[in-house]
Structure 1
Amino acid sequence: MDTIAATMTASNRHAVFSDLLQRHRGIVFKVANTYARRAEDRDDLAQEIAAQLWHAYPRYDPARSFSTWMYRVALNVAISHVRAQSVRGRHDAVPLDEGIHDIADATASDHERDQHIRLLQDFIRRQAPLDRALLLLYLDDRPQREIAEILGIGESNVSTKIGRLKQRIRDEL
């Protein structure tokens, strides 16, 4: 391991990781809120994401963006969680939290905006895990290059999938 994390003392590594996790904790909560319905499931998923981030941290390459790496780990954990839940017959997906209100038309009334958000949340909840991840990253204004890196797919694939998802949203909503 030739990463900076591998050369740190355990105490330093823990302090640096804790600081990074604290600065980017919103990513963990967004992913957990998107992939788990009940509060206790969201808490469990967020905790599992944090544990897997810590476990993978020694392999983090500081030449890359921490938030990109964090999204990749978090989404992999969440998608595995969804798959495990479906195997048990308990697919617990949830729409994005109310933090996506900025995508609704600012000129719409509060009621209309809330209705648009609920419709979008319902649409996202019904998507396959990879499409849900794609929408989460897109709504978080991540560049297509970064989305491709996080999801492990090509940039042109990201562009195509986003275009198709936008069209499905227009058709359904």
Structure 2
Amino acid sequence: MSKPSHQPSFEALLHEHRGIILKVAAVYARDREDRLDLAQEIRVQLWRSFGRYDASRSKPSTWMYRIALNVAISYRRRDGALLTGRVESLEERHLDSVGDAPGEREEDERLAALYAFIGELDALNRALILLYLEDRSYAEIAEVLGISETNVATKIGRIKQKLRGRAAALATTGA
């Protein structure tokens, strides 16, 4: 049985943008096994959609984010965990930024708090902040999520305000 002719280009695209799959799976799945399952499901859906991908209409990363986020949201609904996701500790996520040097522990704690905050957001806002933290433009975020740029800006502003409030509350309680 011969392989489809577009498989090499799909594999190259998948390799080039593999971080998208891993980041979406890390934000939407609860534990290592779930992340692996979700990442695999995202790859399957990307493959199924690849024949219809039109590079003249969107960048590969935009197309991949759109599919990955849709799969992740559906996965969470199917899993019965939408909006209730438990966020694991930084150590469990095996993030590369974890270090032992002086000052890094405090940064790690802030990063863990940020991931916990993101884990509490609803599906749309979680996707939005993931794209924002990836330094995607408002236009690209709007295209991926199917909302207006104005809506993107408004939602990001509200998320930032909520995060600032959370940080201030933590600072006053010493937690």
TM-score range, shorter chain: 0.7 to 0.9
- 1:127 counterpart letter in structure 2: L
Alignment of 1:104-123 (within 5 A): 109-123=103-117
Distance 1:41 1:92, change over 3 A: farther
Pick aligned residue for 2:140 from 140, 143, 146: 146
In structure 1, distance between residues paired with 2:29 and 2:114 = 17
- The question of 1:79 aligning with 2:42 is answered no
Alignment of 1:21-100 (within 5 A): 21-63=14-56, 64-86=58-80, 91-94=84-87, 98=95
Q: Normalised by the size of structure 2, how large is the TM-score?
A: 0.82
In structure 1, distance between residues paired with 2:76 and 2:86 = 8
Distance 1:49 1:163, change over 3 A: same
In structure 2, distance between residues paired with 1:156 and 1:125 = 24
Q: Normalised by the size of structure 1, how large is the TM-score?
A: 0.83
Contact 1:82 1:129 in 2 (8 A): no
In structure 1, distance between residues paired with 2:70 and 2:125 = 13
The alpha carbon displacement at 1:90 in A equals: 10
Pick aligned residue for 2:128 from 124, 129, 134: 134
How many pairs were matched up? 157
Residue-by-residue CA offset, 1:88-131 (whole Å, 9 max, x unaligned): x99545468536x5xxxxxx922221121111111001111111
- 1:70 counterpart letter in structure 2: M
Say what the alpha-carbon RMSD is for the aligned residues.
2.2
In structure 1, distance between residues paired with 2:25 and 2:150 = 27
- 2:158 counterpart letter in structure 1: R
In structure 2, distance between residues paired with 1:133 and 1:10 = 34
Q: Which has the higher helix share?
A: 1
Moved >3 Å (runs of 4+)? 89-99
Contact 2:85 2:120 in 1 (8 A): no
In structure 2, distance between residues paired with 1:93 and 1:16 = 36
In structure 2, distance between residues paired with 1:159 and 1:69 = 21
In structure 2, distance between residues paired with 1:90 and 1:142 = 24
Question: Which structure 2 residue ranges, 5 or more long, are not aligned?
Answer: 168-175
In structure 2, distance between residues paired with 1:111 and 1:93 = 22
Distance 1:126 1:46, change over 3 A: same
